[in-house]
Amino acid sequence: MVRHNNVVPNNHFKKKWQFYVRTWFNQAARKLRRRSARAEKAKQVFPRPSAGLLRPVVRGQTLKYNSKQRLGKGFTLDELKEAGIAVKMAASLGISVDHRRRNKSLESLQENVQRLKAYRSNLVVFPRNVKKPKAFETPAAEAKLVGQVSGTVMPLARSQPALETVKVTSEMKATAGKELSEIKATAYGKLRLERMNVRQVGPRAKKAKEAKEETA
């Protein structure tokens, strides 16, 4: 309860609110700006892929996410060694390297090694010296015809397992219904028997004790 002869509270806390209103009318201009930035980045990194380096296939952490695959940060040193790629040369070939990551299973190691080999087989390396190209470099005439790769380099392919369907016949339905009824009857009888055994623990112990005293 208000005490004494005080002024009735009439505070104004939201003064000049119109200066703090945020609008969303600049999205069309931002869309154009992002597109221009992507085009400028692709022009600067040409002839390398516009999306960046090649990433390995890894699994998520913890029990909740380890069933899902995603693209990781970089390839391990063992994966590069198995694929026959030098660590110092990986960056020049557009391959990301993560020296902290370790291979915990042979399957992930082999999967990423195959990924590196597939990438290496399709890779086009521009010669530094056009007159004397090295063995792993592409001839200048073929390199000029190659365009820039847009989007993720070797994106992760998510495949769903094929399901085999069978037409259900009347004979299958009858057999399944009979088996289900037998299972239900067996389960119900088993439950009733166990419940009865639990209830009869005391009376059975009492009868056994009385029978023992009578024989004694």
Q: Which residues contact 59 (CB under 8 A, 6 or more apart)?
A: 65, 66, 67, 68, 69, 70, 108
pTM, entire model: 0.61
pLDDT tens string 12-64: 777 888 888 888 999 999 999 999 999 999 999 888 888 889 999 999 999 99
| Residue ranges per structural domain of the chain | 27-143, 182-215
pLDDT tens string 157-175: 877 778 888 888 888 888 8
**Cα gap 115→109, rounded to integer Å:** 10
**Cα gap 42→39, rounded to integer Å:** 5
**Cα gap 31→37, rounded to integer Å:** 10
